[in-house]
Chains A and B, each alone.
Chain A
């Protein structure tokens, strides 16, 4: 082989390759993502229906533990009448975020075998996972809050429209943060352990078992940098008819999520060649 370039052999410009139109590419990508979602559903929940039940039981159990602990020491809910509702609004929101970002962190490695099929790209596997986890949490939340309402432990949400928006914003933040982490892990896998330690305090700084507005101003000044705190506050505003927040800024978590997602996607593209 000499050092002639293919481009030279064929005259000016790269060889003629029929480009797919944007519409064709989009249909293809949607088709691939949906197939991946179906496949991941099977892989995540296994072949028995017990897998689905387990997915609902786990978050329920963590809310129950907090309710039992607080009841035992005779504490009342920091807001409203129901301990279960107050904790759920915090825990389920935080869990939805951590599940999304945690599952995305290992997505490149977990799906390496899939890349045998060149039609599947890494970004498809990221989106498929995010969609599956969001769908799972949608079901979990609907079942859980419907259960609370039926058991008389909660009222019907005051503004369901707001709840839909918080849900989507939480998904976006989880997707953005998870994608950035996935790229970092692909370059340096010790990050998995470090990230775990770094995000552990989230349970304490996201307003799960207290009302952030009732904290001293100094504490609020620090805590408001945590986008998940805003999501929890936003969720409570949507659920309770009279919850008010002096910290909440709805654009903040959306902005952080968008910026992280852009950085993550750029990183995926930039370091694609080093992953192989």
Chain B
């Protein structure tokens, strides 16, 4: 069960009040992959953080009875002055995983080679994304929250991540933010459209894309 119950999210920054979500109630369908689309600033990433529990709503409740991943994006919670390996160890420790198993997995998956022993601040954004992606794939979640991260790396790497991803999808579901209609079409079968007027659910992903394009 993953559900929003009368969730509102309002930011107050320097006197500017910004309503991101207004009294939204929604039960995320189980065993379906949900796309979240919308223009920049519509609140897609905020919605991901609310789903993950990284941030509390201003009012209302988020119910979560599944093992949900952290929102997988480019930035991530990596510490720049720590090496790739140290960051991997930290995340596997907090999630109670066998540290060495996760390190081995990410080493093989992310193909960062000796760079893993360098501080994260020396990484390119592509390298960081590969690390974040590999790391989350090493830990078993029931729901993966993916924020614009699938189109990472060169063709070989993409092929590999797609294969791992398809394997995961047999037992897990995803909720994905993306601007790319092709990515959405490949992974999702229904979706939410966020815009100033509110949130609309589309049972068919093609309808969602049509609506998104006409925004």
Asked if A pairs with B, the answer is: yes
Within residues 48 to 103 of chain A, which ones have a CB less than 8 A from any CB in chain B? none
Asked whether A39 and B24 contact (CB < 8 A) given A16-B1, A116-B71, the answer is no
Which secondary structure dominates where chain A touches chain B?
helix
Residues of B within 8 A of A276 (CB): 55-56
Give, as a whole number of angstroms, the nearest-CB distance from A127 to chain B.
14
| Residue A117 lies at the interface, judged by CB distance under 8 Å to chain B | yes
* CB within 8 Å for A39 and B79 given contacts A18-B65, A31-B94, A116-B70: yes
Return chain A residues, CB-CB under 8 Å to B96: 28, 31
Please name the residue on chain A nearest to B58 by beta carbon: A273
> For residue A35, which residue of chain B has the nearest CB?
B93
Whether B94 lies near A119 (C-beta < 8 A) is: yes
Query: What per-residue 1/0 map shows which CB atoms of A6-24 lie under 8 Å from chain B?
Result: 1101000011111000000
Asked whether, in the complex, the Cβ of B54 is within 8 Å of the Cβ of A118, the reply is: yes
B44-70 residues with Cβ-Cβ distance < 8 A to A are 52-58, 61, 63-65, 68, 70
Chain A residues with CB under 8 Å of B75's CB are 113, 116
Count B interface residues, CB 8 Å. 42
Q: How far is the CB of B66 from chain A (nearest CB, A)?
A: 10
Is the CB–CB distance between B54 and A116 below 8 Å? yes
CA distance A109 to B23 in the complex (A): 28
- Note all chain A residues with C-beta closer than 8 A to B86: 39, 42
Most chain A CB neighbours (cut-off 10 Å) among B26, B75, B79: B79
A6-B4, A9-B27, A116-B71 known; A1-B77 Cβ under 8 A: no
CB distance from A187 to the nearest CB of B (A): 12
Kindly list chain B residues whose C-beta atoms are within 8 Å of the C-beta of A32: 94
What residues of chain B lie closer than 8 Å to A117, measured between beta carbons?
54, 70, 77, 91, 94
Chain A interface size, as a band, is: 35 or more
A168 to chain B, nearest CB (A): 27
Type the 1/0 row for B86-98, where 1 means its CB is closer than 8 Å to any CB of A: 1000110111100
B6 interface residue per 8 A CB criterion: yes
CB <8 Å contact, B53 and A4? no
Q: Are A273 and B82 in contact, CB atoms less than 8 angstroms apart?
A: no
Are A17's CB and B56's CB within 8 A?
A: no
Q: Does A266 contact B (CB under 8 A)?
A: no
Is B81 interfacial (CB-CB < 8 Å)? yes
A272: chain B residues at CB < 8 Å are 56
Which chain B residue has the least Cβ–Cβ distance from A276? B55
Q: Write the chain B residue with the least CB distance to A18.
A: B65
Give the chain A neighbours of B24 by CB distance below 8 A: 1
Min distance, Cβ B69 to any Cβ of chain A, angstroms: 9
Instruction: Report the separation of the CA atoms of residues A36 and B90 in the bound assembly, to the nearest whole angstrom.
Output: 8
Cross-chain pairs A/B with CB under 8 angstroms, 27 sampled: A1-B25, A3-B23, A3-B25, A6-B5, A6-B6, A6-B63, A7-B5, A9-B25, A15-B3, A16-B65, A28-B96, A31-B96, A35-B94, A36-B94, A38-B93, A39-B90, A42-B79, A43-B79, A46-B81, A113-B77, A113-B78, A116-B77, A117-B70, A118-B68, A119-B94, A272-B56, A273-B57
